[in-house]
Amino acid sequence: MAAPSLSVDVSGNPFVEVFFSSVAPGTSSLKIYRLSEDRQWVVRGGIGIATGVAALDFEAPFQTPATYRAEQFDALGNSLGFTDSATTSVDYAGTVVHNPLVPASLWASMHITGDSVAPLVRPTDGEMVYVEGAPVGKWIGTRRQGLRDVEVSLETQTLADANRVQAMLGTYETQQVGVLCIRTSARIRWPRTFFARGDLSEKELNVRFGGELVRFDSRMDEVEPPFPGLVTPLLTYDDLDAFGNYTAQDAGWLTYTDRDRAYELAGLSG
């Protein structure tokens, strides 16, 4: 079975387009996986995805190999096995933070400061139990957990980016999930795809003097990402309608798949 075609886009918030042009006969839907940093992830928006539809992975790590494959299902939900796999890497230098559910608009380019090099702790919670007569105690606890109480210090270069960082966690009018996805190429021993939760303390570095540097400090815990079936689409029918009517769309693209991959139209509807 054919491997997916992988296309990297770094024109905005970097992502990998994952597209399967060939699947097993009888395939009705796909569940797309990414293997990176020895972890298997379900690609956001890649659960129950129809054949001929591409998934956009905004959570692929930077400067790190990422391998993609999909499990194929028939119309009754029976597994038809896995496709072949393909590997790529997002060749992007820098740090990007985004809201996992709105990756195309709620994202910002940021800089990791030197204060982010605090000790990294992955705890194993539990307690030592001493049984009468036993020479040593017995440990009863959980498996090792993710990073806890990580010192995170990030800076934005523009007020527009600073405003988007605040919007990622929610505003007075719009509630958000409260989890951030941090991806970086910096030589720091965070996970390359780091989902974190913590309150941000904003410090204006030179705004009062006419500058735009803003710093965000936090103590953050590593958390599970939101359910990968939840995602805001990059390209909408309103964008396509803003391009033109059905006649114009039929003239613009040979197939519906080509039309649905016209990401340059994203946001055209305003």
The predicted pLDDT at position 239 comes to: 43
Give the Å distances, CA to CA, from 17 to 103, 181, 257.
Answer: 14, 18, 13
User: pLDDT tens digits, residue range 99-156?
Assistant: 999 999 999 999 999 888 778 999 998 998 988 888 898 889 888 899 999 999 999 9
pLDDT at 32 > cutoff 90: yes
Residue 62: count of CB within 10 angstroms of its CB: 21
The predicted pLDDT at position 259 comes to: 53
- Chain centroid to Cα 230, Å, comes to 11
109: its two tokens: 């380019």
The stretch 168-173 carries a mean pLDDT of: 90
User: pLDDT tens digits, residue range 209-264?
Assistant: 989 999 999 999 999 999 998 777 655 545 445 555 656 555 555 555 555 555 55
DSSP class of 62: B
pLDDT at 1 > cutoff 70: no
Query: pTM higher than 0.75 for the full model?
Result: yes
Q: Which residues pair with 31 in a beta bridge?
A: 47, 71
Radius of gyration for the alpha carbons in the chain, expressed in angstroms and rounded: 22
Query: Which among 124, 130, 109, 102 is positioned nearest to 185, based on CA atoms?
Result: 109
Looking at per-residue pLDDT, the higher value among 45 and 237 belongs to 45
Phi and psi for 81 in degrees, rounded to 5? 95, 180
- Chain centroid to Cα 168, Å, comes to 13
Residue 157: count of CB within 10 angstroms of its CB: 15
The predicted pLDDT at position 265 comes to: 45
What percent of the chain has a predicted confidence (pLDDT) above 70?
A: 85
Measure the CA angle with vertex 260, ends 255 and 265; round to 5°: 120
Which helix (H) or strand (E) element contains residue 90? none
- Spatial neighbors of 129 by CB under 8 A, at least 6 apart, are 137, 138, 139, 140
Burial 158-179 (b: 16+ CB within 10 A, else e): eeebbebbebbbeeeeeebbeb
Distance CA 229, CA 251 (A): 33
